[in-house]
Structures are given as C-alpha cells and as structure tokens.
Amino acid sequence: MNATLAPELPRALHWLNAPATTLHEQRGRIVALAFVNGASAWCAQRLNDLAVLQARYVGRLHALAIHVPRFDSEREPQQALKRLRRQGNTLPAAHDADWVAWQRFGVDAWPTVLLIDGEGQLRHRIVGADGLAELERAVATLCDGLHSPPEDDLRGFREAHPEPRMPLSFPTGLVATPDRLFVADSGHHRVLECNHQGRVIRQFGMGTADFADGELNHAAFRRPHGLALVRESLYVADTGNHALRRINLATSTVDTLCGNGRAGEPVEGIITVARNVPLNQPQSVVVNNNQVFISMAGDNRIWSYDLGSRELRPRAGSGQLDMRDGSGVMAAFAQPAGLAAVHQTLYVCDAVGSAVRSMQLRADTVQTLVGQGTWVFGSDDGPRETARLQHPQAIALSPDAPVMWIADSGNGSLRTLRLGGGELTTVALPRRLHGPAGVAVAAGAVWIAETDAHDVLRYDIATGALSHVPIDE
C-alpha cells in the first residue's frame, strides 16, 4: 500500500495494562497496531505471533493491542482485559469500547495489524491470521534500516496491575468423577488431579509453558483447555501447543497423539508421526465410540481422531466463521468451544455464534438448538426459538437426566437446556459468575470453572448451594 501518515490514537482509549501512549511517542520504532477481539481465536493467534516478533526484533518493534468489543459483556474494560490475559496476551492493550479507533483507522475485520514505520507512516495493512511468514517479512523489511535501539527499549514490558498470585490461573476444562476432579489450570500450563475437597493428588506438567512428553514432572503443556476421561486415559486439548495430548493415569505419563506445537491446517489421514501433523487451536475434546472428537476453534470445524486406526478426519464445518446447518462441509460453526456426547449425538457449544448445536454422527448432520446468528446474543430464557445466550464456553450433560448445563460466559451465568425440545433456563445462583469457561456434572453437583476469578465452584443440584472448592490452598 502507498505510505500515508498514520492518524493519532484517540484520547478516548482506555489503556488496560500499560500507561497511555501515542504514536508520536513511538517515533523511531516500528509500531504494530493490532485491532483484536478477546473472544476471537484468530486474534489470540495473531497476538501470539506479534509477541514472538517483538521478542525477535526487541527494541525495534513495538506491538500494541487495541481491543474492540464484539459482545456487550466485553464493553467493560476489566472483562476485556481478562479475556486477553486468558489467551496469554502480554502486550500493552487499550480498550476501544465505542469503536472510535476502529473507525479512525478504517478497520473492517478482526484481526487487522497496521505496521507503522519509524517516521509515523502507515506502510502495511495485514488482515487475518494466516501464517507468520507474511507478517515477519513486512516487519523485517521495516526494521532493517533502523538504528540500534536505546538501552531503555531493550527492557521487557511489565504489565500494570497483573493478575493476583493464586493457586489457580484461568482454569478452564473440568472432568468430574464420583471421587475425583480434574482441572485444566490453563494459566499455569498444567493439569491437576484433585479430590472433591480440593486436595491436589497429582500435577501433570511442570507448570511452565512448553511442549514435552514424558513422566508427569517432566511433561509440559501450553494453556491446556478441554479435558475428557475414558477409563485410565485423560485426553487434553492442549490449545497453546495446537495438539491433542493424552495422560495415562496408570503410569503418570503424557504423550502426544497429534500436533506439532504450531497452528496450521490439519491434514486428513492416518497419522504415523504424531508431531508431523498441525492442528489449529483445539479447544475441547470428548470421546465417543473410540473416537476423540475435537472442536477446532482456529478453523471452525469438528474433527475426529480414531484411537484404533489413528486416522484424523474432518467431520463437519466449512472452515468459515458462520452459523449454518447441514451435513459435513455444508455446515458452518462460529468458533466451536465445548463438546458433549451421548449415544450417536455430539453437542457443540458454538462460542462466537452464542449457540448450542447438535451433530448426528451417522451422517455428521448439524442442527442448531439455540442461537440465531453470529451477531445475535442476549440472556433471554424460554423456548429455543427466542432464547438467547452470550458467548457460551462449555457444556456438560447430566448422566441421569436429559439436561444440558451451559457455562454462559458472557452473561456470567449457569444455564440449563432440557433435551428433547425443552426450554432454556437460567439457574438461580446467589451471585453473578466471572467468565465461567468450564463445567462438569458428577456426584450430585455441577462443577464450574469460574475462569476469570481463578476459582472452581461446586453447585449442589438438590439444595442450590454454591460453594468454593479450595484447590491446593
């Protein structure tokens, strides 16, 4: 594109984790201005790319995230910051609640990265999150002619008002059994096995972000998310490593079924070498009839991995971010998150679609149960045709009743949907939940990952009591 002088950042921007700055103050450095949304998996990947490049071109490249809300819940600055931190963002971030900067810079899609040279000229506009190579080529060209950065610019960015140190950090996926609770402690890059009173029995993963198989104390995860338990195998959607992992509970070891640590286009077929196959932000897993079903938030499709033949194949979804019913590639999802399965039916929590979908596994036919489109959301209870969700993150089925429990993250609530044509209902809780992103049902209780509060809760189905689970306190 032809170079033009970049407009200045609006004064109305609310800086979330860093002192306010202007583009004029950044003269002499390359600025990557990233317009992102905290609910978007594509934006999370682009922010990760920029963090890698900023470390590679330290002092010469300065990346700034401009968060633009999609959902009503994201208009609140603290909620926006929580969403960014949940995805691992460590860049300075500003909140554009009223889309002022979005309009001033002529942005029309998430994510969009604007590269501004050392003289304040807008040199590149890169839309989407396809690959790191194009972005790095543009950054490298602009950085090539810069002088050596001053020593102050070589110091790493330290966030203002960081998250408090707590036993859990952004917990997400949960699995509950009659006597155990498994927690994906995403921000601490580990998986915990606990009893129902919260005592940690085993920790899987070193607690640092890495990608390593082996014994429980030497294995490593990166922002693990969804969990699924079958006998002595705990399957993990290792979102940050773009991998499907397995924990053998009998031997306390971790191995990789597929995924190479980098986001990429999955390849259909028999997997002979697990780390030769890329995945794209696996979010949740569930096992049905010896198949591990994977919701792939990065490519908006549902995949399956056959535990016998080791075949990976797409089951439904066109790859486009959309909501469309149909079979196989004729269907479309809007960032599928949570999964649940019973008999020959897979249920999908469609996060950006604010929807719950069903998928009949015999023909991979997708039908919408609740949800009216990617820009239609709310908190209304009632019949499925008029009920509304807002950015739900997880679902779970009661083992002894046709009831689905929904972690309605955007509304900060726990919802129920009675299967077989029933209505959507909000559970009466004593308080609003803070960004719930995990839910499981066992032992007469619903276990809730209150993700933004770094907590796990127990809701007693019979009494309605809500209590804190003191994990490793």
- Same structural domain, 316 and 384: yes
What is the total count of domains within the chain?
2
CB count in 10 Å sphere of residue 255: 13
Domain assignment present for 161 = no
* pLDDT per residue as tens digits for the range 345-397: 999 999 999 999 999 999 999 999 999 999 999 999 999 999 999 999 999 99
Q: Which of the listed residues 94, 120, 154 is the one where a domain comes to its end?
A: 154
Write down the pLDDT at residue 363.
96
Write down the pLDDT at residue 221.
98
Domain assignment present for 159 = no
Write down the pLDDT at residue 97.
96
| CA atoms within 13 A of residue 117's CA, in its CB half-sphere | 19
- Same structural domain, 281 and 356: yes
- Same structural domain, 339 and 219: yes
- Same structural domain, 262 and 304: yes
- Same structural domain, 122 and 195: no
- Same structural domain, 88 and 136: yes
Domain assignment present for 162 = no
- Same structural domain, 125 and 238: no
Euclidean distance between CA atoms 147 and 144, whole angstroms: 9
- Same structural domain, 241 and 316: yes
Looking at residue 181, which CATH number applies to its domain? 2.120.10.30
Euclidean distance between CA atoms 296 and 340, whole angstroms: 14
Range of the domain at 258: 171-468
- Same structural domain, 143 and 253: no
Tokens of 349: 């929590």
Alpha-carbon distances, residue 180 vs 174, 183, 187, 448, 450 (angstroms):
10, 10, 21, 14, 18
| CA atoms within 13 A of residue 419's CA, in its CB half-sphere | 21
Write down the pLDDT at residue 150.
56
- Same structural domain, 184 and 62: no
Domain assignment present for 165 = no
Write down the pLDDT at residue 1.
65
* pLDDT per residue as tens digits for the range 317-341: 999 999 999 999 999 999 999 999 9
- Same structural domain, 103 and 236: no
Listed as ranges, residues in the chain with pLDDT below 50 are: none
Domain assignment present for 200 = yes
